[in-house]
Amino acid sequence: MQRKAAIWITGAFSTSPTGGVESLAGLIPVYLHLQKMAGRANYRAATLSDSHPLWLILGQDHHRGAQAHPCAISKMSEAFKRKVKGTVMEIDRRLPDLTESFEPCAPEARPGARLMDRFSAQIDFDDCGHLEDDEAFQARENTLNDLLKEAKRDNGAVYCSTDASLPDNTQHTAVSAALLQ
């Protein structure tokens, strides 16, 4: 299936080599993609809060001070651990390899330390709102272009623009994109 997708993306001939077409299309082999997703799922457990029930069934190194569950990995014999396969066993085996620490409530995200809390005097928001007619839209566009020119002249300025416009249709979802320069 991935080969067919790569040929469709690149427009290559059906006799083109699989590896070359997938490389040109920017597709990684399926087994590597699955390996990447499994690794991320294992490490995602590190972001769980200390009170999450998963910690109670993992090995002794991961209990975080809580009482182990009667069926926890830490209470299994070594022979039984070798026989048991599954996601929880994989998480228990891979967590010691994780070198980064994760804080679900990082100090930078607490009130008083956020960007708007610390630099509110230096940040300006310009909400365009909903513009119905072309004349109002053109005036607003000119104003925004003037603001952009002014920000570009200031070497210490960082300017960011986003667009989260959404048509009047329940099938679409609002998405915001930002450009920092």
Q: 46 is written with which tokens?
A: 């590190």
Q: pLDDT value at position 150?
A: 85
Same domain, 27 and 61: yes
Q: How far, in Å, CA of 39 to CA of 129, rounded?
A: 43
Instruction: Indicate if 152 and 89 belong to the same structural domain.
Output: no
Q: Residue 106 falls within a domain, yes or no? A: no
- Are residues 91 and 12 part of one domain? yes
Residue 13 lies in a domain: yes
Are 11 and 90 found together in one domain?
yes
Burial per residue of 118-135, b for 16 or more beta-carbon CB atoms within 10 angstroms, e otherwise:
eeeeeeeeeeeeeeeeee
Position 143 scores a pLDDT of: 83
**Residue 159 predicted with pLDDT over 80:** no
pLDDT in tens, 11-21: 888 788 877 78
Domain annotation covers residue 175 = yes
Domain hosting residue 34, numbered range:
2-97
Higher pLDDT, 111 or 176: 111
Query: Which of 156, 144, 48 is closest to 102 using CA atoms?
Result: 48
Same domain, 83 and 138: no
pLDDT of residue 176: 62
Question: What is the amino acid identity at position 113?
Answer: A
CA distance linking residue 58 with residue 67, whole number of Å: 11
C-alpha–C-alpha distance, residues 49 and 53, integer Å: 9
Residues 9 and 93 grouped into a single domain: yes
Please report the pLDDT score of residue 100 as a whole number: 75
Domain boundary among 97, 132, 147: 97
Q: Encode pLDDT of 98-154 as tens digits.
A: 777 767 677 777 788 777 788 888 777 766 666 667 787 788 888 888 888 888 888
Domain check: are 70 and 9 in the same one?
yes
Span 17-35, average pLDDT? 83
Same structural domain, 76 and 160: no
* Whether residue 7 is found in the same domain as residue 52: yes
Domain total in the chain: 2
Last residue of a domain, one of 63, 97, 131: 97
* Final residue in a domain of this structure, among 82, 97, 112: 97
Q: Please check whether residues 59 and 131 belong to one and the same domain.
A: no
